[in-house]
Structure 1
Amino acid sequence: MRAIAKTQKERHLLQHRACLTEREANKDKLNVHNEKIVIEDKAICMVCKEAILCNNALIYLKTGYLIHSKCMKYPNLCPITNAILIPPE
């Protein structure tokens, strides 16, 4: 019985974290000014070192790096510098 309660609690925490992450992303979208980013043909992802193609989903980090969205392991942590991207409230 305790294992079931623990699993339910973990699932609830994951859902809560996902909700908070989505809320932060929406908040960031409101504060972002549209800026033009030029991507060269030779651009590579700084995490996986693979080429960045025009049909890839990309993330331009506040730290100045361009990476594939699949390479972003944690939504609030730069995978290259470990800088916190979303300050805690």
Structure 2
Amino acid sequence: MSRTVFCRKYKKEMEGLDAPPYPGQKGQDIYDNISKQAWQDWLKHQTMLINEKHLNLMDKAARQYLAEQLDKYLSGEDFDRAEGFVPPTK
């Protein structure tokens, strides 16, 4: 049976992550308060930001920018979007 959490992003009970995605306090907070779906959605969004903004993850400023966007994304604040992205039509 999978564990559930009250997802801070989607404001409802959802399936939780299997393990913290980061070490330390931040990873534990995500594990306790963010659903597996919200985390997967963040990973897709993060990939779009990296690609569209040509971020170099070796650059400390780029990593800090992504960390700030992660916090905004998961807490429901206004976050940056990839300017050139057009979602596919179904």
TM-score range for the pair, normalised by the shorter chain length? 0.3 to 0.5
TM-score, normalised relative to structure 1: 0.35
**TM-score normalised over the length of structure 2:** 0.35
Q: Which has the larger radius of gyration?
A: 1
Higher RCO structure, 1 or 2 (CA under 8 Å, sep 6+): 2
